[in-house]
Amino acid sequence: MKFPKILASAFALTLLFNVSCRKDDDPITPQQPKGAYENGILITNEGGFSTPTSSVSFLSSDLTTQEDNIFATNNSNATLGNVFQSVGFKDDLAYLVLNVPNKVEIVNRYTFAKTGTITSNLSTPRYIAFTDKNTYITNNDFFSVRKVNIYDNANTFVKSINFDRYAEKIAASGNYVYVQTDGSTYDTNYNELPTGHTITRINATTNEVDKVITLDDELIIKDMAAEGGFVYVLTSNNSSTNLYKIAASAGTAQKITLDNVAGGTKLALENNKLYLISAQNKVYSVTGTAANELFTATANNVYGFNVINGNIYIADPTFSSDSKVRIYNQSGTLLKTLTTGIGTNGFYKN
């Protein structure tokens, strides 16, 4: 049976009204906060070599709220350790790499409650990277220990890969893990010299080395970082700076000579944009093959450097008392100066 057109139209409007009302009446569940340390910056304080004074500070994204010692606060006043080297993130977990106690503390990155510890086969651990199946940790004492330890997702030790001279910065990109396997040494007059010029690639499927890239200069490897399918390596001496852009899947390197930069020391990446700082505290952004000087920062010793939400974070530490952190915008305006813990060395967006 067919409805008259007027009745059919009225029925359709009524049905549409009822459906709309039901949609409007559906409760919207607000997204619950993951923890007190969501949407902010973690600041790592290395601590003293012989005293357990390592700590983590938290800074809110709007730069208004600072909380110190958040590991101790959320873990029954537990001691973190002596030399806090770096942080790595995997899903909701933060891995805190501690060099002197030979351990990695695992915490919920948003609450900082401890969930586990890695200690097996660690010897002076430095930096950490992740693939879907494994965790990779460099161990480097600058004398005899130079290796990458590999752990499965249960944090069980799988194997080590040893290197001839270095095992320092590490970065995962796609199915590959890149390791900085050269850096610097010193002669009898304490002049800094390169140990060599290699970056080594591990195939994450086999956990074997499948490629060694020898950089095309005689400068010292200073830093390495990865984002967007590329690995970036910074090399320099007192008068020169080069940047290498390595396509992670192909393992091919493009050399970029930064003629206007002397003594580049540290890299930062945000949203596939590259920044660096020099030994003269000059901050640069890099576009294509050109480095654009942004400003000169104030610091006695730039020990930590990063760019987060467009702002530039610089750590100026001491190792016997509190450190200073200065936060700038990209025009060089000082936005904030913080007092942080002993030996501040890093900044991580959480």
**Cα 303 from Cα 170, distance rounded (Å):** 18
pTM of the model as a whole: 0.91
Query: What's the confidence (pLDDT) of residue 33?
Result: 80
Query: What's the confidence (pLDDT) of residue 17?
Result: 45
Query: What's the confidence (pLDDT) of residue 49?
Result: 86
Query: What's the confidence (pLDDT) of residue 16?
Result: 46
Query: What's the confidence (pLDDT) of residue 27?
Result: 62
As a dihedral over the C-alpha atoms of residue 230, residue 250, residue 88, residue 207, rounded to 10 degrees, the angle is -170
Query: What's the confidence (pLDDT) of residue 50?
Result: 87
pLDDT tens sequence across 162-206? 999 999 999 999 999 999 999 999 999 999 999 999 999 999 999
Query: What's the confidence (pLDDT) of residue 29?
Result: 67
**Cα 54 from Cα 45, distance rounded (Å):** 6
Domain spanning 35-119+305-328+337-350 has what CATH number? Answer: 2.130.10.10
Q: What is the pLDDT along the chain (350 residues), one digit of tens a residue?
A: 444 444 444 444 444 444 444 445 556 667 778 899 999 999 999 999 888 999 999 999 999 999 999 999 999 999 999 999 999 999 999 999 999 999 999 999 999 999 999 999 999 999 999 999 999 999 999 999 999 999 999 999 999 999 999 999 999 999 999 999 999 999 999 999 999 999 999 999 999 999 999 999 999 999 999 999 999 999 999 999 999 999 999 999 999 999 999 999 999 999 999 999 999 999 999 999 999 999 999 999 999 999 999 999 999 999 999 999 999 999 999 999 999 999 999 999 99
Instruction: Report yes or no: 330 and 294 within 8 Å, Cβ to Cβ.
Output: yes
Q: How many CA atoms lie within 13 A of 6 on its CB side?
A: 0
